A and B are shown apart, each in its own frame.
Chain A
Amino acid sequence: MLFKIALKNLLGARLRTFLNVLVTAFSFFLILFMSAMYNGMLQHAKQVTMDTEIGGGAYWHPEYDPLDPMTFEDAHSAPPTVVQALVDEKKAFPVLVSQASIYPGGRIMPAIMKGILPGQNIVNMPTDALSGHEDIAIPVLIGKGMASDTKLEVGDAFTIRWLDADRTYDADEGTVVHIMDIENFKLDMGHIWIPLNKAQTMLAMEGEATYVTYEKGLPTVQDKGDWLSRDINYLVQDMEAIIEADKPGAQVMYMIILALAAMGIFNAQVLSIFRRGREIGTLMAIGMTRPRVVGLFTLEGGLNAVLSAAATFIFFGPILWYFGAYGIPLPIDYSEMGMIVAKRLIPVYTIGLVASTTTLVSIIVLIVSYIPSRRIARMKPTDALRGKVLA
């Protein structure tokens, strides 16, 4: 009975209902969209890291700590036989890491010099660009961000100085052969990439590597000596820690939008009760009990949420779908800020996101509908009939 009356009230109110529903639907849309954008951003960052850097995992030299450049000096040896076998089968590629100083335009800059197998196709890096430059002393591949910092362009030469395995400093001229446009800033900022065999020669570390990255889907090898196995879970843990650390910020944003939606509905409900005082009195006069009137108004708020969910999919569904399919171009290059953010961000909608948002918004709507409706329970029918409402 209440449902029928509530539905009649909602549909009968036409413009008032339409406006309430539209505002709630817009808030609904914003919550969904913002959450999906955030999901998309995180998923993209993870995916880019895996595609360009992690592959299926890696075997590290036991001394290697990517966060401590001082370890690079000692973090090199010939890979274990089983790992080298993967390299030979082109299922893995080695990387030799060392510190270096570069002198672009006469300025000194510290850099991480990484020797990489030019023919690798396990991670999405344009390492092929390092092939076929026999006439160049040291062919160098750098990222766009690094090129911008150093003001280097393709064909520019600059001095590279390094410390080899015999603790001897040496220097030679590197030439930029390619500038890669890569979303993973960790492969770009402060990095110079050179052919692996060149790096091994320069550093007097023939046949050696710091880590070996293997392709996706390979099982972990046994007999890897003292080298350490670093699977995807290990390698993305930093990323996940960043995501986890960023959660409170996202939750605050989520709560702000939710609060806006709730305030809109609360406002509409309070207004309804003030404006509909006489109607409430009439319902009481014809025999509706107070709890039922409270229930009716709460139900109207609840139905508002249901209609809003439907309106979100009808009015904003195409927009959500469009952005989900084609993404949103971002005007700023976030890589310089140390963030992996796509140039075209694609929101990711999951069933969990839609279900949790719908449930949460519905619960909030019910609560904010119920709170002002409780005033009705304190109302005298005679006051309500005169249109007088408790302040």
Chain B
Amino acid sequence: MENTAVITINALTKRFPVGGDFFTALKDVDLTLGTGEFTGLVGPSGSGKTTLLNIIGGLDSPSEGQVSVLGQSLNDTSHKERALLRRKHMGFIFQSYNLLPVYTVFENVELPLILNKIGPGERDKRVAQAIDWVGLSDKRDSRPAMLSGGECQRTAIARAIVHQPDLVLADEPTANLDAENSHHIMKILVQLNEELSTSFIFATHDEKIMAYLRRIIHLDDGQITKDEKIENPKASA
């Protein structure tokens, strides 16, 4: 499953201006991730997990170094090109779900397909399928305010995978969920990874997630301290 490189990072450094000085969030990071990997960026708060995830997602730019995602160098791309890359090939899952409050479950999930200009018939079919994957068929017309945390996150997952992206970036996807919901969400993601060969990268310090990961990249103070591959994850779908 893991063959071609989805992400290639060389000597990545990211600095943020703080007052009159700079804070180095990532320092000399080198990383390669292949297709279909189920990887976690693990580390304490402030270790640079989210910053790395944002740079991979083209939401932020590196200060130094080379970042290539899905064969496209993010150093040379415009905002528009990065937006198109995200639209077509990436999915995002956020800690606080980031669902649009005025949309129903169906409409939230439909949004990436509208952006990708998928026709209404095909859109309905794919949204129904994605909602079915995450087990929310009976909630398709509910608004986020009417859903539990687990249901909101499942909606966010459906939105992230509905256009069948090559890469899904998940930032602390279970941080706001209880243990049962966390396991439920992770099982769904493992299943999607296996069925669709979608690559997943998690930023997390949640032990429950780590139990499902097949590769764990430890970050501390903006540097990779350990990169371990797990042949047999503790938990499985």
Contact = CB atoms under 8 A, between A and B. Distances in A.
Nearest to B159: A286
Contacts of A287: 83-88, 90, 112, 115-116
A278 interface: yes
B94 interface: yes
A218 interface: no
A363 interface: no
A1 interface: yes
A289 B98 contact: no
B102 A285 contact: no
Interface string B85-120: 111101110101011111100010001101111000
A1 B111 contact: no
B79 A5 contact: no
A57 interface: no
| Size bin of chain A's contact surface | 20 to 34
Contacts, number: 76
A289 B102 contact: no
Interface in B41-89: 54, 57, 59-60, 79-80, 83-88
Given A1-B117, A8-B103, A289 B60 contact: no
Given A1-B117, A8-B102, A281-B98, A380 B60 contact: yes
A353 interface: no
A69 to B, nearest CB: 73
A17 to B, nearest CB: 9
A255 B169 CA distance: 51
A382 to B, nearest CB: 5
Contacts of B60: 380-382
B59 A285 contact: yes
A382 B79 contact: no
Contact of A12 (B59, B83, B86, B103): B103
Nearest to B51: A382
Contacts of B114: 1, 4-5
A9 interface: yes
Interface string B114-138: 1111000000000000000000000
Given A284-B59, A286-B111, A382-B59, 17 more contacts: A1-B114, A1-B115, A9-B102, A281-B98, A282-B94, A282-B100, A285-B98, A286-B86, A286-B115, A286-B159, A287-B84, A287-B86, A287-B88, A287-B90, A288-B115, A291-B80, A380-B59
Interface of B: 54, 57, 59-60, 79-80, 83-88, 90-92, 94, 96, 98-103, 107, 111-112, 114-117, 159
